[in-house]
Amino acid sequence: MTEAASDRARDTEGAEPDWLESLDRVRQTYHMIGGQALFGAELSSIERGRTEFRLPISPLLGGGAAGGVHGGIMAALIDIAVVSAVRTLCVRGDIMRGTAELNISYLRPANGSALFISGTILRKGGSLAVGDAEIHDDGGRLVAKGRITYSLGRADA
């Protein structure tokens, strides 16, 4: 969470401020955009500035190195994890514009029964947010790491 968002949230003494996007709304948005229907990724944890997903691996996700999950699917999962984490820090008037840059390093084949994806926001400003994501296999090994720069706007600008 950014320092300013953390300070504002702390000022509410535990209550969710109405100017912050509700975590329930972020959950609903994820389900509406089809992340779960498209790949089968399940949103397993959500908090301010961080999301976690679990992806059961099926033969439909293959095509990657050594028979693992296809790299394009992993890139999409990194994008979904970071964009969902950005939404958790959005305030009234923020406009989600789109991913401006995506970088991914594939470190080993993504095999096993499931992948675990986490997205964490490093910094959210007025026009850009930057976040990191990691994908681990079911043995806890890091299989891919990515960074997203996301473009934001303001409705009142």
Distance CA 32, CA 18 (A): 22
- Among residues 43, 48, 46, the alpha carbon closest in space to that of 10 is found at 48
pLDDT tens-place string over residues 29-40: 665 555 555 678
pLDDT in tens, 75-107: 999 999 999 999 999 998 999 999 999 999 999
Alpha helices in 14-155 (DSSP H): 23-33, 35-39, 71-87
For position 12, what pLDDT does the model report? Answer: 38
CB 77 within 8 A of CB 53: yes
19: confidence class by pLDDT, cuts 50, 70, 90: low
